[in-house]
Structure 1
């Protein structure tokens, strides 16, 4: 949730998660286009990044050529980028009633650094809860593909793999399993989809889920008035 039940933010926060090559960026863009066409104000962003400082940190932690980046340093860089992202971009947008769509969020750190790097899922979660002041998505879409499919997609183009993408298949296998455990533990907050589906079918399923979330959020932020003469 984006805030406590007593003080819900008027906007809606949607995060896309999944392994490298799962199709998150494509589906985030398709969702943003559909919601804008429906008349909503949408902020489409990504992690690490989303702010000027975040983009600089993205280059440091993902690009090759910056020397050794140990696991703790990696986790702290991601958390620092996320702290700026929430403070400067995400929370202000939610407060003004916008729909925020991010390509990756806390789940990625829990999985990649907490599990993949062996730092501990709980420790990384706590770090990022502090960095974001407890801001969680209203809905997280997990696009699930196996490590072979993800690598085939990543290497199909001309772009070179970044530091995390270039990790061995065993790492990406662990990442996929950890994402599924995370999502299956919170079925109320996650939408798990087979990333091998046709993009149009995926986009339709995601839009339907977000539409339901919007309706639920509207009911919370703007509750129906009590009938005349009736008091709580």
Structure 2
């Protein structure tokens, strides 16, 4: 599928600052009269679909106990709805679509850390997305201990997909790097251990280098 716009994904360790940076970037675009050229969404769920949001609620509900394969299928279903209702049409209009997470999260959480298997999760997503690949992925890298420190300070509630075990975050970071090393040209890795203003400048520099802004 040849798109007129650009599809950019932001991935990262828990507590790496993704959500804050996206908010800062929206303000940056607004201040520079460029916001109308961009569209934002996030996963699981969709900015464009209440049905995908219902799937998000199902996925994150602490009372549910789904297998990794069921999680992978739910994510893929939500992802497909997000593509159909928003991402594909906006790319066709020539917009820059920025998504907070995409299939790389499924590769990591259900494919590598879970029991669904990376090969199987990739197949599920290739079918669900018509193999729609982002132009590039910005990955916020963070040491596991820093992830836990930030999550402890910032959050009072953890959803079903989060953990506070340092060994878990060691495995999480290793899994992300497995995905990154499988296709390094797609990723723009940023050290997220710095202050938020410095992190924002790093992101802006990447977007300028890629001629997005």
TM-score normalised according to structure 2 size: 0.89
Supply the distance in 2 between the matched residues of 1:166 and 1:115 (Cα, whole angstroms).
16
How much does 1:158 deviate? 4.6
Provide the secondary structure at the position in 2 that maps to 1:156: helix
Counterpart position of 2:104 = 107
Provide the secondary structure at the position in 2 that maps to 1:214: coil
Counterpart position of 1:59 = 57
The structure having more radius of gyration, on CA atoms, is 1
Counterpart position of 2:25 = 31
How much does 1:123 deviate? 1.4
Which has the larger helix fraction? Answer: 2
Counterpart position of 1:90 = 87
Indicate conservation of the 8 Å contact 1:12/1:97, yes or no: yes
Indicate conservation of the 8 Å contact 1:12/1:214, yes or no: no
Alignment gaps of 5+ in structure 1: 219-232
Runs of 4+ in 1 over 6 A off after TM superposition: none
How much does 1:213 deviate? 2.3
Supply the distance in 2 between the matched residues of 1:193 and 1:158 (Cα, whole angstroms).
23
How much does 1:167 deviate? 6.2
Counterpart position of 1:227 = none
Indicate conservation of the 8 Å contact 2:144/2:173, yes or no: yes
Indicate conservation of the 8 Å contact 1:139/1:213, yes or no: no
Indicate conservation of the 8 Å contact 1:155/1:161, yes or no: no
**Deviation per CA, 1:95-145, whole angstroms, max 9, x where unpaired?**
111111111101000001000103221211121111111111111011111
The structure-2 alpha-carbon separation of the partners of 1:174 and 1:158, relative to structure 1 and needing over 3 Å to count, comes to: closer
Given the alignment, which residue of 180, 192, 208 partners 1:211?
Answer: 208
Counterpart position of 1:10 = 4
Counterpart position of 1:124 = 121
Counterpart position of 2:74 = 77
**Deviation per CA, 1:147-198, whole angstroms, max 9, x where unpaired?**
2221221221353011111363333221211112222333321111111112
Counterpart position of 2:38 = 42
Counterpart position of 2:15 = 21
The structure-2 alpha-carbon separation of the partners of 1:37 and 1:189, relative to structure 1 and needing over 3 Å to count, comes to: farther
Provide the secondary structure at the position in 1 that maps to 2:124: helix
